[in-house]
Chains A and B, each alone.
Chain A
Amino acid sequence: MNEAVVRTGDYDVFLTFCNWIGDMAESGLIVDQTAWWEKYDPEVDHGPNRYVAPLDRFTTLYKGRRYALGADDDAFSLFYRKDIMDNPDEAKAFEDRYGRPLELPKTWKEFDEWIAFFDRPDEGIRGAHMYAERYFAYTAWAARFISKGGAYFDDNMDPLIVSDEGVTALEEQIRLTQDHMWPDAVTGDWSVAYSRFPEGSVFFAWAWASLGKWAQDPETSKIAGKVGYMDAPGTMHDGELVKAVPHVVGWSFSISRYGKAPEAAYCFIQWFTGPAVGLDAIARVGTLDAFREPWFDDAKMKEAYGEEFLPVLHSLTQNAFPDISLRGAAEYLDNLNLNLQQAFAGQKGAERALKDAADSWQQITDRIGRLGQIEAWRAERQNYPQPIQDLWAKLGRFPS
């Protein structure tokens, strides 16, 4: 944000959250890369080295133009305690209580029961750690909401969150948060997950892929070797399970308009995110995550993530939906988050919280300019995973 004010030209390349593209593009801070894509071909949406869809779209596009090159995969990943789950006694007890065998949950309803079952506060282990805090409270709620067929806005940028899908999703998530999590899911910061899960005080955690690596490292974790990976739960729509996985933050490269050599800078980022270099960088450094298709079969990657995790991450990524990436993204998300956090903390009802968030969204939209936002949103919703777009079509969410 400062660079937008300051425009020093000190930077040729920005590595930013990919949902900032809208703001940066609109302020004229970064340049449209579309022409270079045609000239140099970064192999994003085609060919053997393509990005896992839909990363190819939402980490690069704004209003239909290419403004960035994605450099990360931040699809939220689900981790659980395999050692507890595999205990035959647990399986029996579970079946006794719910009348079905103990399996990884597929739907949100099963998921809630599953978490409740493994919530053992007396033994110092709670059911789950899912973000309900100041900055990422929206993640779990959005996953439920969108899998139910919800969307943030309609085609005229009127918020759709104060709907059955939104309110139900939030009520479910509030119940889960208040009944089966440590309070610091609400009050701690995002890093709490990285302590709770590895120290063995929660059964389940939903966070970035890095938590998996962290929890499997015997140096830092008490549960190394006991971590299970699973796909996201979803919602059944006419016998079809629709999953929605929040893609939270995620890094992408863009080119400063004020840099000295924009084209050279572009070539650099294309090289850096290219098939060979990116692979090395990700496998070794460990702060970015794999995003190109072939990397999910790569031996080095398998070593870094573990055999079992990589296919799960691949599947999650395919269902990943983007953060709000419009102009004012930070503001939309902040207003949503602060209301959701209050709901999780018990200070507001679900409907009230969403209503307040929707009201502030309307104000933001009006201030920034509704027409421009409508154009951006109509383009942005095309970046959602195909199953979700299909579901929206089926529900008649947007005019076709």
Chain B
Amino acid sequence: MASSGHPLADTSEGRASFLSRLRRAVDEERFFGTLLITPMQLLLWFLLIIPTIIVIYLSLVAWEPRMGVDWWQAPFAFLRNYAQIFQDGRFWAAIGRSLGVVVAAGGLEFAVGLGLALLFMRDFPGKRIVTSVILYPMMLPWVVVGLAFYLLFLDRGPVNFVLTQWFGSGATVEWFKNPLLAMGTIVLADIWQWTPFLFLILYSGLGALPKDPVEAAMNLGANRWQIFRHVTLPMLKPVILIALVIRALEAFKIFDLVFVMTGGGPGTSTETISLYIYRVGFVFGQLSYAAAMAVLILVMITLVTRFAIQPIEEG
């Protein structure tokens, strides 16, 4: 459609005032479109492109605030920061953990969210209230969510208390001591908080689907599972993909919950990549090193986008 733009103001009306010519130009599609995206472009330049240039520069120098010089005066380190990353087991372990969260949280949230969405496709008494309740977790500050789960799963907290009531005094679980359980508890909090999001997307998507194909399949005698598997699911595919992608990318950034619940502990066993970068950059003050890690992550995510999201756009 870009080709259908209208030429600018009629040149034969050379004496038309600037204002009227501008007004006419605004009506021209291409000009109007450009005008409308300009604020966003400016903001992206300001918040994305310039910082990206800075972060790349920072990653190539050896700068820590405690050096006593400003960042542009710091000596070049070239690729030394990057070389250091490749030897930094803690970095890769943190990346691995973040990916683990993506898979575990993303997968479970999707499953639960889809289940809920299907459940909610039909009316039942109190649906509106239940919907409100389900959406509530998203609205709580994440720090408070982390706090709530930390307190619930405390060694002598309510969850363990209930366990001892049901299964005897030996039945407490040291949720935050075992690395896997600690990670699991964090993921649980994430699930609790973000399933509503997936529920919303999938529920909206299901609601927007055309009804005819389902009815047609029903008339052909397909059972519910077959309808779901062969009719609903394929139609829902684009929604599912975007939901999963968005959720996966958000989950990869997980910070608040870990920060509040375990601080990355025991040791570094629940340290995610956001937390590690935060710690390196803003606690240890190794900003150049943090910058190199940031750049590496930007590159990795861009690659993932190329290979994972491009198909969605095309499909």
Contact = CB atoms under 8 A, between A and B. Distances in A.
Q: When A and B assemble into the complex, do they touch directly, with CB atoms less than 8 Å apart?
A: yes
Interface of A: 1-2, 4-5, 23-24, 26-29, 133-135, 182-184, 186-189, 201, 327-328, 330-331, 334, 338-339, 341-342, 344-348, 367
A345 B285 contact: no
A4 B265 contact: no
23 contacts: A1-B65, A1-B282, A1-B285, A2-B282, A23-B285, A24-B66, A26-B68, A182-B156, A184-B176, A186-B177, A187-B174, A187-B175, A187-B177, A187-B182, A187-B266, A201-B156, A328-B285, A330-B283, A334-B279, A338-B265, A344-B266, A345-B177, A345-B267
Interface string B246-268: 00000000000000001111111
B188 interface: no
B155 A183 contact: yes
Given A184-B155, A344-B266, 15 more contacts: A1-B283, A4-B66, A133-B265, A183-B155, A183-B174, A183-B177, A186-B177, A188-B155, A201-B156, A328-B284, A330-B285, A338-B264, A345-B267, A346-B177, A347-B269
Contact of B266 (A27, A29, A347): A347
Interface in B176-210: 176-179, 182
B66 A27 contact: yes
A346 B38 CA distance: 57
Contacts of A328: 66, 284-285
Contact of A135 (B66, B178, B263, B268): B263
B134 interface: no
Contacts of B266: 134, 186-187, 341-342, 344-345, 347
B287 interface: yes
A244 B12 CA distance: 94
Contact of B284 (A28, A186, A189, A334): A334
B293 to A, nearest CB: 15
Given A1-B282, A5-B287, A28-B68, A341 B174 contact: no
Given A4-B65, A26-B66, A347 B179 contact: yes
B243 interface: no
B155 A182 contact: yes
B133 interface: no
B138 to A, nearest CB: 26
A330 B68 contact: no
A134 B262 contact: yes
Contact of A330 (B172, B267, B284): B284
Contacts of A2: 282
Nearest to B265: A134
B282 A134 contact: no
The 5 closest A-B pairs by CB, nearest first: A342-B267, A187-B176, A4-B65, A134-B265, A28-B68
A342 B178 CA distance: 10
B66 A338 contact: no
A27 B65 contact: yes
A348 B269 CA distance: 12
B154 interface: yes
B188 to A, nearest CB: 15
B67 interface: yes
Contacts of B177: 183, 186-187, 345-346
A134, A201, A334, most chain B CB atoms within 10 A: A134
A261 B65 CA distance: 23
Contacts of A182: 155-156
B266, B268, B282, B286, most chain A CB atoms within 10 A: B266
Contacts of A187: 155, 174-177, 182, 262, 265-266
A23 B68 CA distance: 10
Contacts of B176: 184, 186-188
A339 B66 contact: no
Contacts of A4: 65-66, 285
A135, A183, A328, most chain B CB atoms within 10 A: A183
Interface in B141-159: 154-156
A386 to B, nearest CB: 30
A331 B284 CA distance: 5
Contacts of B155: 182-184, 187-188
Given A186-B177, A347-B269, A26 B284 contact: no
Contacts of A345: 177-178, 266-267
Contacts of B66: 4, 23-24, 26-27, 327-328
A367 B64 CA distance: 11
A48 B178 CA distance: 52
Contact of B267 (A23, A184, A347): A347
Nearest to A134: B265
A23 B266 CA distance: 27
A334 B285 CA distance: 13
A183 B182 CA distance: 13
A330 B286 CA distance: 11
A27 B269 CA distance: 32
